[in-house]
Amino acid sequence: MGLKSGYPPKVLSVDDANAAQSSLESLGIRDGDQILTSERRGPASTAAASTALTASTESTASTAPNLAATTTSSSTPANRSAFAPVNSGSFGFGSASMVQSAQSEFQARSVTAGSPFGGLSTVDSSYKAPAPKPPAPVAAPPVATQSVEGIRIRDHGFLVVREVEDDNSCLFNAIAYTLDPTMKSNIQGLRQIVAQAIETNPDTYPDVYLGRPRKDYCDWIRKDNSWGGAIELAIFSDHYKIEIDSIDVSTNRVDRFGEGHYNQRAILMYSGIHYDAVALTPAMDVPADCDQTQFEAGLDDIVNGGVQLAAKLKKAHKYTDLATFTLRCSICQLGLKGDKDAQGHAQQTQHTSFEEYR
């Protein structure tokens, strides 16, 4: 087992003879530091697997051989996404508790594989443990890009698109995924945030800005089938105190809401009629709980990676041309072509619910 820490990762030298007396602090590891473990399966093989752990030095009795076992979970502040980085570094994958949870299943399997009681038997030396069963594969989280590969961000993982529900609330679902997971089951609560912001700030959101009387807009956005857009993104940026960047797949344009006002940034991918979340994952086959969805606003690696990802999506035709796509009014079932037809139909009939069809 090899151990590395810091950035760039440096090998931790642990003397086997004194391993039992080596504490995390004595190795120069501080609270919040990441540790890379590399398991070697043979003298000629390279590291078979590397897993990032968040170290804790709260207990000086913890010893180096038990680094994974002594990792402690950290609570997430109420005003932060559970998917935000644990420390103040540029990159991280979820809270310590999420990373620990994702790793614990693999650790438990490796420990219990050699004995029916979770360890080597010292009672009956004639006992032969059954052949260990291969671990069940961990299902990969949904990735909207399908055949489109993620964008590698240096040594920190892959930038991917996380698909959210296509239920007329995709923008709100994407906001819940990236900024406030507690609202995943309360999308109506996110709609209320928008309505209340408009109601209490008439100077910021006048009728002419909304395109209709403020009361009508508030009543409309509270409906489950009303789509969100730039107005809602601006409100969520102000509400959560974070820059929100929306990348348009068809044009590769980046629309920045709250630019220059906040220290953190989240990214959404816009395909023309649908919003998805963008996340950084340490590997393509790990649970989505390990995603990082908030990043330091001063670093452009993620935005540049998002633009590259949008270019891949466009090349794979994973977007909708608003001028030519076909849609149907969900109320009267009238077939329409393009966003202009939809806008005209909405003005004439007050019908505001549409769905795409091919």
Q: Which residues are catalytic?
A: 167, 170, 274, 351
3-class SS of residue 161: strand
3-class SS of residue 324: coil
Region of 355 (left: φ > 0; alpha: ψ -120 to 50; beta: rest) is beta
- CA–CA separation, 217 vs 201, rounded Å? 13
The distance from CA 183 to its chain's CA centroid, rounded to whole angstroms, is: 15
Residue of 27, 46, 36, 47 lying closest to 8 (CA atoms): 36
Residue of 229, 257, 244, 246 lying closest to 306 (CA atoms): 246
| Amino acid at the residue 141 | P
- CA–CA separation, 278 vs 249, rounded Å? 13
β-bridge mates for residue 354, sequence order: 329
Residues whose CB falls within 8 Å of the CB of residue 47, separated by 6 or more in sequence, listed in order = 2, 38, 39, 40
Q: Are 83 and 292 in contact (CB under 8 A)?
A: yes
Residue of 148, 174, 355 lying closest to 276 (CA atoms): 174
E strands within the chain? 2-5, 10-11, 34-40, 47-54, 151-152, 158-162, 243-248, 254-257, 264-270, 275-281, 295-296, 326-329, 335-337, 354-356
- CA–CA separation, 155 vs 136, rounded Å? 27
